[in-house]
Amino acid sequence: MAPIKLAIAGVGNCASSLLQGIEYYKPPVSADTAGLVHAELGGYRIQDIRPVAAFDVDRRKVGRPLEEAVFAPPNCTAVFQRELPHYGVTVQMGPVLDGVAAHMKDYPEDRAFRVADQPPCDVAKVLKASQADVLVCYMPVGSEDAVKHYARACLDAGVAMVNCIPVFIASHPEWAQEFRQKNLPVVGDDIKSQLGATIVHRTLARLMCDRGVRLDRTYQLNTGGNTDFLNMLEQSRLRSKRISKTESVQSQLDVPLDEGNIHIGPSDFVPWQKDNKVCFMRLEYRGFGDIPMNIEVRLSVEDSPNSAGMAIDCIRCAKLALDRGISGPLHEVSAFTMKHPPEQLRDTEARERLERWIAGR
């Protein structure tokens, strides 16, 4: 197959795990290899993904070769593949816009963003020159303007988009229509980790409906020590994250909970946790005879590889759609891989529909 030329906006922890994974899974992999939903997807292997462009705004990343920038601070995710190839890609200065929260400057250098003193590049022009097929968007939560800037650049440059953050592009009818009109696929929004808090919470909520018990109240509290969690200390940046995470669980219930009975969101920044995210979940329910019962879950995951396990499929699906002339939001792909897709499905149905879509049926 032809290579999948990948552009990356935001060379943070998720980008680091993604690039490490592309290298890690280079040796032949089989259908039962740990960590992958699809060893091969529509004929594309993981090693077919080749980075051709990257954008960031941090002075420790901009101007550096991509294979070095992914290991630069404040990135702190687990390193499971130290050796990366020389991609021949230098990280370009993106437009900062609303990408960097003001409180970042109050935290130490090794934990927070530090903006480079450089003029921004013309993103669409760089994308065109790189001949990228797909751009994966890894902006910090709350970067409404920055995400829209990269989405616009994709439309101008003729590049498909995978939007991993809760700014609504694929799930926004006007943006969806723009991608359709330009014959470009878009996958989004807000990546749902391979096996993280969202999928566990959705599955338990659905299980309760299927077993005839009534969920009365639930919470999901999350802590982490990466820049994603540091960024999310700023409550004003969190609106769409809360919507995305809450709707994701509500969508699995036959009768959605009242707003006051469901609380889901990032809860605190614990620096020493680094990229380890810990989730505390509680579901209070009534079974036969209205007897109150509850389930408590504590989940501990490495956040960024957990998202890369899904991104690696989104990217290949976006390229498959380009090959097949499919444009606009990819419903089947987004329902399986994203928290806030244009159409929410039960997860088992999403998987079945995704497999049919990949097979071209």
Ligand X SMILES: NC(=O)c1ccc[n+]([C@@H]2O[C@H](COP(=O)([O-])OP(=O)(O)OC[C@H]3O[C@@H](n4cnc5c(N)ncnc54)[C@H](O)[C@@H]3O)[C@@H](O)[C@H]2O)c1
Q: By C-beta, is 149 or 215 nearer to ligand X? A: 149
x/- letters, 182..221, toward ligand X (CB under 6 A): --------xx-x--x-------------------------
For residues 345 and 197, give the distance between their C-alpha atoms in angstroms, rounded to a whole number.
Answer: 17
- First-to-last C-alpha distance (Å) of the chain: 20
Looking at the Cβ atoms of 114 and 214, the one nearer to ligand X is 114
Q: By CB under 6 A, which span of 23-31, 92-100, 170-178, 290-298 interacts with ligand X?
A: 92-100
**Count of residues binding ligand X (CB under 6 A)?**
38
Torsion angles phi and psi, residue 257, rounded to 5: -75, 150
97 in contact with ligand X (CB under 6 A): yes
| Angle at alpha carbon of residue 308, lines to 109 and 190, rounded to 5° | 85
344 backbone dihedrals φ, ψ, rounded to 5°: -80, 135
Stretch (H or E) spanning 19: helix 13-24
Close Cβ partners of 190 (under 8 Å, ≥ 6 residues apart): 163, 164, 165, 166, 240, 241, 244, 245, 338, 339, 340
Cβ contact 195:300 at 8 Å: no
Rounded least distance, CB 49 to ligand X, Å: 17
User: d(Cα 125, Cα 88) in Å, to the nearest integer?
Assistant: 18
Taking alpha carbons only, the member of 70, 87, 85, 98 closest to residue 10 is 70
Q: Near ligand X by CB under 6 A, which window of 88-96, 104-112, 168-176, 212-220?
A: 88-96
327 binds ligand X per the rule CB under 6 A: no
**Residues from 44 through 73 that contact ligand X (CB under 6 A):** 55-58
Choosing from 228, 274, 340, 342, the residue that interacts with ligand X (CB under 6 A) is 228
Is the omega angle on the peptide bond into residue 56 within 30 degrees of 0, that is, cis?
Answer: no
Cβ nearer to ligand X, comparing 198 with 327: 198
In the chain, what are the helix, strand and coil shares in percent, each to the nearest 5? 40, 20, 40
Site residues for ligand X, window 98-137 (CB under 6 A)?
Answer: 99-100, 113
Nearer to ligand X among residue 12 and residue 208 (C-beta): 12
CB of 2 to ligand X, least distance (A): 27
Q: Does residue 94 interact with ligand X by CB under 6 A?
A: yes
C-beta closer to ligand X: residue 69 or 205: 69
Site for ligand X in 305-324 (CB under 6 A): 306-307
Q: Which residues bind ligand X (CB under 6 A)?
A: 9-15, 55-58, 75, 94-97, 99-100, 113, 138-141, 143, 146, 164-165, 190-191, 193, 196, 226-228, 303-304, 306-307
